[in-house]
Amino acid sequence: MANQIDRDQVQHVASLAKLEVNDAQLDYFTDQLDQTIGLFETLSAVDTTNVPATSSVTDQLNTMREDVADNWGEQAALLKNAPETQDDYIKVPAIIDESEAN
């Protein structure tokens, strides 16, 4: 195929996106992404010299409002959505792996 991306690059992109791709899936994803990036390559045929980039099509410039908070008191409801909590906090595994400390 087009060879726009190889297995190592797919593995690298997956790690940037916090995804794990195992060996069995690596060929499958590499092949599909390679084809799609080959499609992306077709844009190189378009002359875009001096053409500005468009990142949004909204007609709104800025929206201002009074700096007043209006959504207090939702702590309990928010915590109910968290996978694991303790007291009034969201609980997560240790950030620093203590087994490496000694």
Partner 1 sequence: MTYLNQDLADLHQALSDKKMSATELTQDTLANIKKMDSEVDAFLTLNEEAALAQAKQLDDQGIDKDNPLAGIPVAIKDNIMTNGLRTTAASRMLENFTPIYSATVVNKLANLDAITIGKTNMDEFAMGGSTETSAFKTTKNAWDHTKVPGGSSGGSAAAVASGEVLAALGSDTGGSIRQPAAFNGVVGMKPTYGRVSRWGLIAFGSSLDQIGVLTRGVKDNATYLSAISGHDIHDMTSSTNDVPNFAAGLDESASVKGMKIGLPKEFLGDGVAEDVKQAILNAAETYRQLGATVEEVSLPHNEFGVAAYYIISSSEASSNLQRFDGIRYGFRADDVKTLDDVYVKTRTQGFGDEVKRRIMLGTFSLSAGFYDAYFKKAAQVRTLMIQDFKAILKDYDMILGPVAPTTAYDLGSEVSDPMTMYMNDILTVPVNLVGLPGMSVPAGFSQGLPVGMQLIGRPFDEGTLYKAAYTFEQNTDFHLKTPKVGGQN
Residues that bind partner 1 (CB under 8 A): 5, 9-10, 13-14, 16-21, 29, 32-33, 35-37, 39-40, 42-46, 48, 51-60, 62-63, 65, 74, 77-78, 80-84, 90, 92-95, 97
For residue 79, the minimal CB distance to partner 1 (Å) is 9
Largest Cα separation within the chain, whole Å, is 59
For residue 73, the minimal CB distance to partner 1 (Å) is 11
- What is the token pair recorded at 80? 């109910």
For residue 26, the minimal CB distance to partner 1 (Å) is 12
Buried b (16+ CB within 10 A) or exposed e, 69-98: eeeeeeeeeeeeeeeeeeeeeeeeeeeeee
CB atoms < 10 A from the CB of 21, how many?
18
For residue 12, the minimal CB distance to partner 1 (Å) is 8
Residue nearer to partner 1 on the CB measure, 84 or 88:
84
